[in-house]
Structure 1
Amino acid sequence: MTLHVEAADVAAFFAPAKEESGPRVAGTKVNTELYQARHEKDNLNWATQLLDGIEQHAAGSLFKEYQYRLKKYKPRSANIWLRKMVEKIQEHAARFPLPLRMIANEASRANIAREWANAVVNIILTMTEQHTKKVNAEELLNAAMEPARKWGISPLLPTFKNVCPIEGFSDRDLDVTAAALARLQDEGWWERQITKAWNRYTEHVAIIVGKVRRGVSPYVSYKAKQEHCERRRAGAAWVRSMYAVNDELGLEIPLAEAVKSSMANPELRRLELMMRMRGFEEVAEEHGLAGEFYTVTAPSRYHAWTVTRKKKTVQNPRYDGSHPRDAQAHLCRQWAKARAKLARMGVRFFGFRVVEPHHDGTPHWHMLLFVRPEQRRLLRWVLRKYACEHDKAELARTYKPRFDWVAIDPAKGSATGYIAKYIAKNIDGFSVGIDEETGTAAEETATNVAAWASRWNVRQFQQIGGPSVTVWRELRRLREATQNPILEPARKAADNGKWAEFVNLMGGIDTQRKDHFVQLNHLMKFAASKYGEDVKKLRGLRTVNTVICVDGIPSAVRLGQEVDTRHQGWTLSRSGLGERSELPLSGDSRAPWSSDNKCTGDQILAEKDPLKRELALLGLDETDLARLQTGAVITMDGLFISIRNGCLNTSRQRPGMNPPGRQERAAGYRAEAMKLLRSGQDLEPWLAKIPEQYQQLALDQAAALIEQMEDEANWLEDAAPKYHEDDFTNWMNDLYHGSEHE
């Protein structure tokens, strides 16, 4: 059978798709039927001008909703709605000191971060007169913080409260000040903060315009979910390519296996939370305590969208433009007030708190607490008082929308069963079924919840009271029995998964953590961080000193002991002990590949070739490798993949297309200045040709070069006579490699 195809049909098939005709506003088609009369055309022009001031993705959603409201309601109502929405978005956009288009992409944010970090450097250099003048620490930090305040960001700051009139600020305050100044001068820190602010702003706009709600994209916008999934895939690929290596012990562990067996595994995380919750319930049964389950919600003004009885999402008229972190901060403040009030009243309780989002991203809390039966009403009253402290007018009929509670009856079910579905729903959706908040499967929305917690930096689970779970996890790392009479019972309890027994062995549920019998032991590395801060590294466990009594009389003291649970000296490598890469583990510098190390025999498997393994993780084969080796650049999922100088490089920008940064420009000016100085030419004409914004940079490079040349000339004048004229080669070797004459 022969198929005949006309040439016109082929041309039509491969022709680009035709765009829909007609006017558009922010990419959304204009319904011309709504704008026939003169005043209707005026509404269109007004809406177009109003939406020009915000990003197109938000403007398009607003204009679509605006046209819907024009058809359903009066034009005045639709105009008022649009004006208020645009004002809310512009109010949040005004918090940025620069136009948002300047930070809308990764490359722009990197350049902006570099400029603001340099601004802080210049402030510090000016105040200290090029590091030659002592300046009050508080005044220096206050001046250096001025650029960061414009962005609404800040590193950890000292308190400057306990100031000694003689010695001045405490060492703690000075250390924190030095670390804060180091961060403010670091362009990497600036880029992370600006990126975080931009991501949260775009997600907040998505909430306002209705892209985060039931029936559209619950909990988090579709774009934020995609970005979260991409990061997870990239992270998983990186983990699969890495090994944890300990040269001293000769150990090699695939990093993927280590991650799978840690709390990063959602299944293990869920099982451990359930185990600890069940252990708390056993402790409560042992002490005759009552269980209470509470649900606390933020006031209506924090909710952008609400669900009607017909399960339809509509905009909340009380919404004031707050974002999820504002709601979480409100709940934390009210919880702090309630906790302080209960402490003053002598009410002791313990349990768990779970934070989960409403369909529009607004967080609410679920708490399972255990308390003495005679104090359960007091606990309930205090929590309800502070949960309903604000916006009481909307609670005229009942407090249930803000605060709900259930007294747990053991005859109807266990306390752990009340909170089990909330734990599973916010981790992996295991055995939850349909998510009532969204009407979809919980296993599908679990990814949305994870993306929501990541985007807004919300702590989902928190243990209230009880011993440290880190001590529990470190005890489970001890595989062999110990001779310590305090440590060994706790180790057995942890190894057998008996949380209730572990709580009692640590001193009981009411014992404060500083008095627990087994505590963490850390190794302090001074000034080990990038910003000169002390790094506390977990080393193992230690037991406290205990008093031995005979017939009720103290007779001796058993000194505490230390036990190591973690081996020191672990490093990450792209290959195991048998094949170590000497290159750094940066994202743009991969393991080298050449004809020399491609294959050295049958004992080295092809899968162990670092370059081939990297290409396989990217989905590339040997055909692609051959193309890359010829100098080609492969584009895939927005990444530009290339091989340069034997190294595999991945970048979001095409190689060779990046504009010169400050460092590259400075290096160029330094080379030009050196050429002029060596030839004895004047620098003034050269400086005059440089653009005004870069003249100071060029002048700094020339000044540094002149100073270096003067120092070298003085040194050579002193050092050269010590050598014989014929021994010039030895003198040059000593000049670069050092000698006894240094």
Structure 2
Amino acid sequence: MAVSKFTLHNAPTTGGSNEAAVVFPWNTPKKAVNPYLDPAEVAPESALSNLIALYAADNEQEQLRRETLSDEVWERYFFNESRDPVQREIEQDRLISHAKTAREQQRFNPDLVIIADVGAQPAHISKPLLERIKYFHSLGRAKAYSRYLRETIRPCLERLERVRDSQVSASFRFMASHDGLEGLLVLPEMNQDQVKRLSTLVAAHMSMCLDAACGDLFVSDDVKPEEIRQAWERVAAEAMRLEVIPPAFEQLRRKKRRRKPVPYELIPPSLARMLCADWWCRKLWQMRCEWREEQLRAVCLVNKKASPYVSYEAVIHKREQRRKSLEFFRSHELINEDGDTLDMEDVVNASNSNPAHRRNEMMACVKGLELIAEMRGDCAVFYTITCPSRFHATLNNGRPNPKWTSATVRQSSDYLVDTFAAFRKAMHKTGLRWYGVRVAEPHHDGTVHWHLLCFMRKKDRRSITALLRKFAIREDREELGANTGPRFKSELINPRKGTPTSYIAKYISKNIDGRGLAKEISKETGRPLRDSAEHVSAWASLHRVQQFRFFGIPGRQAYRELRLLAGQAARVQGERKAGAPVLDNPRLDAVLAAADVGCFATYIMKQGGVLVPRKHHLVRTAYELNDEPSAYGDHGIRIYGIWSPIAEGKICTHAMKWKKVRKAVDVQEAAADQGACAPWTRGNNCPLAENLYQQGKDKSADGDTRTDITRMDDKELHDYLHCMNKKERRELAARLRLVKPKRSRDYKQRITDHQRQLLVYELKSRGFDGSEKEVDLLLRGGSIPSGAGLRIFYRNQRLQEDDKWRNLY
């Protein structure tokens, strides 16, 4: 019997739930959607709902930011004290009351004046000083804290003012008074972008000076070369006011007794450089870094207690320079006219720019000098020459040196160069001769001192040592007294203790890369010598100090060119008999053979020997002008090869002209980049790798079976990964992220309380907090970012930093 819907709907219920009386599920009474009454019935979260919530939160924050900004603008332009007299009086009373309170506090506690002066300094000065003040204050020793402020911080601020006065001369201030050049007065506080903008303004000012000079001097169409030189003099005078020596200044400046005619052809490239913003950017940036470093030396932030040899800021900048250089080398290659290409990184690593090659060459040269000295019967003496106390900014205990006269690192280097030149002149007048090598390295505060390994006749040793001591201690003699050891030391090398090469090996290594000195501790700084090599390299680069210098022997550039020529001849004459001559002249071929086998002793003797004037050397380096002009219109000088006065013509060792180009992009990788790419929205609605992992773990995107890399050995895995394109690497990385690695056991290094204190102290000296969280992170094998893309970690009971150039040493 058929039953109507009306009958079913109005049928009486005899008990139970309403669902029992309903035939169809869709006819069941639904519950009202109200999340406030029943939160359990809220719709489940999805990717879309999360995305909408994020967008809503961003819109809310943006709206609050705009409202805050509008309120600040409204208060600044409509409700400030300059427009409202009542508000102005209230603000003035508040400022006066604050000043009176601060003055009263400073009158009862003079230390607050010192802290206020420190806070008024630029960030690169105030931040590290305030950290040290905070540390001393946390010790809870009021007297020591006050003594530190008055005996250390106050003298540092006074020294800082003297350094600034010596840096900014009257002519420099006059240049800063021109429109747009006010930034010259705060040059040490600028970053690289600000220095670039300032260099553009300086170049524009030089261009205006040249226009004015041309308008005053060039009154007729027939312009004489002397009038052009007078215009150059005006622009050069403006550059000299900025403490920058103009290009070709010595050749073009006025001289009373000029032996050669004026090289007028040097005027256009010199003017082009002084009108170029890039040239000024390099000059001003170098000046900014030097001035900033000298200010840090003045406030005792460069010493063995803080940062030895050079500031951490300079070290980080040097790391960044090396990183950019390495990226540039990896992205470029060299190509010649025949289409042959060379990887630029491989070329740089094979050259003398590689620290390992430079160290090996110098050690071979010193060994050659040692063999020659044994053959001649000469003795070896090791000298150490130090600057007077007025060049040292900091004492050994890290406190300011009261005798320091604001002398810079460059001035200390110039002092030693002038002293050595005066001594060499006096030595030649007396008929004494020597040969050897000198090494320039820094004290803990950056001041230069020299180590010299010299070979001489045994009968001349006492005379040379006495004469060198006389010139080394002649300035500020009264501060030494009877003990001249702090300024001058000499030691006759005893063959029983070691060879001359072993004496100088440590100084050569620690000033290049620290090879073989991992366990050696510096007596001056108390740190490993291998770690200090990076600081020494940054110090030499910043202050432009020549670290190594050989004297009394033939040049080493001809040695390198001869080795290059021997290698080229071996490639051309591959089937020639071993030991066959390369050059027709037997004397020249003997020099080439000595250089080819790397024997410096034979090379020097075949060149004529030690203590021989340069004009008598048998083989010399040949130079020529570049074919293409530079960006400034002049043709620079490059190495051509070698030449000899006993043979006609020159021998070219650089016949191929190589051009630097950027590496081409792989077509397969470029096509792979056209596939999957980063989405423009917050979330990817179709993550390919996740879908593949869920649908079938053994299938790839095109249906092929994936390669099982777990069954490969190391060589097969290496080849397989290198053959993958970018798309396949991204898919492999996405699959690896889905597999969670097993949690390893808890690992933590065990150190003593003394080692923990040393770790905390070194962390604070490097600018970190030294908190328990940082110490625990390092002990558990973690790392902390230290800038320039590097990280600091704790290994073998000392702090280390990963260096991308270490694999080149």
TM-score interval for Structure 1 and Structure 2 normalised by the shorter chain? 0.5 to 0.7
| Aligned equivalent of 1:264 | 353
Alignment of 1:501-650 (within 5 A): 501-525=602-626, 528-545=629-646, 559-575=647-663
| Aligned equivalent of 1:147 | 238
Partner of 1:44: helix, strand, or coil?
Answer: helix
Alignment of 1:469-488 (within 5 A): 469-477=556-564, 478-479=566-567, 480=569, 481-488=582-589
Partner of 1:216: helix, strand, or coil?
Answer: coil
Letter in 1 for 2:448: P
| Separation (CA, whole Å) in 1 of partners of 2:627 and 2:354 | 32
Partner of 1:211: helix, strand, or coil?
Answer: coil
- Residue 483 of structure 2 corresponds to residue 415 of structure 1: no
| Separation (CA, whole Å) in 2 of partners of 1:46 and 1:314 | 17
| CA displacement, residues 452-484 of structure 1 (integer Å, 9 cap, x when unaligned) | 111111111111121110110111112233333
| Aligned equivalent of 2:388 | 299
TM-score, scaled to structure 1: 0.68
CA apart distance, 1:298: 0.6
Letter in 2 for 1:456: H
| Aligned equivalent of 2:126 | 59
Letter in 1 for 2:112: L
1:122 to 208, 223, 246: 208
- Residue 302 of structure 2 corresponds to residue 246 of structure 1: no
Letter in 2 for 1:112: L
Alignment of 1:415-494 (within 5 A): 415-432=500-517, 433-477=520-564, 478-479=566-567, 480=569, 481-494=582-595
Q: 1:66–1:78: 8 Å Cα contact kept in structure 2?
A: no
| CA displacement, residues 268-324 of structure 1 (integer Å, 9 cap, x when unaligned) | 1111101000101111111111211100111111111222xxxx4332221222221
Matched pairs, number: 550
Larger relative CO (CA 8 A, sep 6+): 1 or 2? 2
| Separation (CA, whole Å) in 2 of partners of 1:148 and 1:593 | 50
Letter in 2 for 1:213: N
Unmatched 5+ residue regions in structure 1?
1-33, 546-558, 582-590, 600-604, 624-636, 640-742
Give me the CA root mean square deviation. Answer: 3.7
| Aligned equivalent of 1:682 | none
The structure where helix makes up a greater share of residues is: 2
Letter in 2 for 1:188: D
Alignment of 1:18-417 (within 5 A): 39-41=107-109, 43-45=111-113, 47-48=115-116, 50-51=117-118, 54-62=121-129, 71=145, 73=147, 81-92=155-166, 94-95=168-169, 97=176, 98-100=184-186, 104-129=190-215, 133-134=223-224, 136-156=227-247, 157-159=249-251, 173-248=263-338, 250-307=339-396, 312-417=397-502
| Separation (CA, whole Å) in 2 of partners of 1:608 and 1:186 | 47
| Aligned equivalent of 1:703 | none
> 84-93 vs 366-375, which deviates more?
84-93
1:593/1:187 CA distance change after superposition, 3 Å: farther
Q: 1:355–1:461: 8 Å Cα contact kept in structure 2?
A: yes
Partner of 2:486: helix, strand, or coil?
Answer: coil
1:35/1:214 CA distance change after superposition, 3 Å: farther
| Separation (CA, whole Å) in 2 of partners of 1:148 and 1:231 | 27
1:102/1:563 CA distance change after superposition, 3 Å: closer
| CA displacement, residues 337-366 of structure 1 (integer Å, 9 cap, x when unaligned) | 111111111111111010111111111100
| Separation (CA, whole Å) in 1 of partners of 2:320 and 2:673 | 32
Q: 1:164–1:170: 8 Å Cα contact kept in structure 2?
A: no
1:38/1:112 CA distance change after superposition, 3 Å: closer
| Separation (CA, whole Å) in 2 of partners of 1:574 and 1:224 | 30
Partner of 1:313: helix, strand, or coil?
Answer: coil
| Separation (CA, whole Å) in 1 of partners of 2:328 and 2:461 | 50
Partner of 1:494: helix, strand, or coil?
Answer: helix
1:385/1:274 CA distance change after superposition, 3 Å: same
1:150/1:391 CA distance change after superposition, 3 Å: same
The structure where strand makes up a greater share of residues is: 1
| CA displacement, residues 600-623 of structure 1 (integer Å, 9 cap, x when unaligned) | xxxxx99899x989xx9xx9x999
| Separation (CA, whole Å) in 2 of partners of 1:333 and 1:140 | 34
1:138/1:45 CA distance change after superposition, 3 Å: same
1:79/1:139 CA distance change after superposition, 3 Å: same
Letter in 1 for 2:523: E
1:218/1:83 CA distance change after superposition, 3 Å: closer
Partner of 2:399: helix, strand, or coil?
Answer: strand
1:76/1:570 CA distance change after superposition, 3 Å: closer
Partner of 1:117: helix, strand, or coil?
Answer: helix
> 188-197 vs 38-47, which deviates more?
38-47
| Separation (CA, whole Å) in 2 of partners of 1:228 and 1:291 | 36
Larger Rg: 2
Give the % identical residues: 27
> 505-514 vs 457-466, which deviates more?
505-514
Partner of 2:358: helix, strand, or coil?
Answer: helix
| Separation (CA, whole Å) in 1 of partners of 2:610 and 2:127 | 56
Partner of 2:263: helix, strand, or coil?
Answer: helix
